[in-house]
Amino acid sequence: MSSASTLHFAVIGDPIGHSKSPLMHNAAFRALGIDADYTAVHVTREGLPAFLESARTSLSGFNITVPHKNAVIPFLDGITPRAALAGSVNTVSVRDGKLFGDTTDAAGLERAVQEVFGLPLKGANVCILGCGGVVRALAFHLADAGCARLRILNRTAEKAALLTDEILKHAPALDCGFAALDDLPSVRNALDGSDLVIQCTSLGLHEGDGSPVDPALIPSSACLFDTIYRETDILVRCRERGLRVSGGLPMLVHQGAESFRIWTGREAPVDVMRAAAES
């Protein structure tokens, strides 16, 4: 039951009906006895400026999902250095009518990889499949976390080339390179010796989708983390080969937990949030 002192939070996106964030955050508020609620709000591109103006007085914070993670930035009063590097915001805190943006996707991925595989990013050989918004945040985070080698494989090689240039300017000592997904010898080289392969393309979101690379090329000693929640072709085929694999749910839970910490200043009840996301 909401009262005058209840804090209000939300997630915005288009579409938004599928979001598990309300389940996770409401369960977390309940578990810690925090008087707050969290709702999903459908916001179109055209409706974004009006939503943000009203959020200054009506909300304490909100999450942002597709397609607004970049578009929101010019409307904010400040963003963290990591959000500026990523060019992406998924968490906004409202303080005294001002909007402050941050991104928790990459920190969520790092915690998920630690939790599921026990694999530290420092010193790891990492190969990323894809080069969209999530990869931008992830690549700078991996560079800062001290990964030993980073390879970015993308359908559109030019995008991976541009990001690789930016990463090398940010972290000149990093062994960082890219290749086109259809350049088989380079893909083979990039995957060879990988400790961690992170699947960040949208291929696999739909039933019947194939894999962005031949799963047989991924070393059997590697861990495969697929950012997609469902059982993708690459995840199933790597698991059949005996690789350690994970779908994207732990990342969702940990990026949400990081948002929760930012808003409340309290440690998030991760197990409660995970159980809610799985329900």
- Active site residues per annotation: 69
Least Cβ distance, residue 202 to ligand NAP (angstroms): 4
One symbol per residue from 140 to 179: x for binding ligand NAP (CB under 6 A), - otherwise; what is it? --------------xxx--x--------------------
Query: Does residue 251 interact with ligand NAP by CB under 6 A?
Result: yes
One symbol per residue from 71 to 110: x for binding ligand NAP (CB under 6 A), - otherwise; what is it? ----------------------------------x-----
Least Cβ distance, residue 212 to ligand NAP (angstroms): 5
- Determine the 3-state secondary structure of 151 from DSSP: strand
Residue type, 60: S
Residue 193 φ/ψ region, left for φ over 0, alpha for ψ in the -120 to 50 degree band, beta for the rest: left
Q: Give the angle 244-248-254 at the CA atoms, nearest 5°.
A: 105
Q: Which residues contact 23 (CB under 8 A, 6 or more apart)?
A: 276, 277, 279
Crossing angle for the helix pair 133-145 and 157-170, to the nearest 10 degrees: 30
One symbol per residue from 214 to 243: x for binding ligand NAP (CB under 6 A), - otherwise; what is it? -------------xx---------------
CA distances from 217 to 123, 205, 241 (A): 22, 21, 11
Site residues, ligand NAP (CB under 6 A): 105, 130-135, 154-156, 159, 181, 200-203, 205, 212, 227-228, 248, 251-252, 255
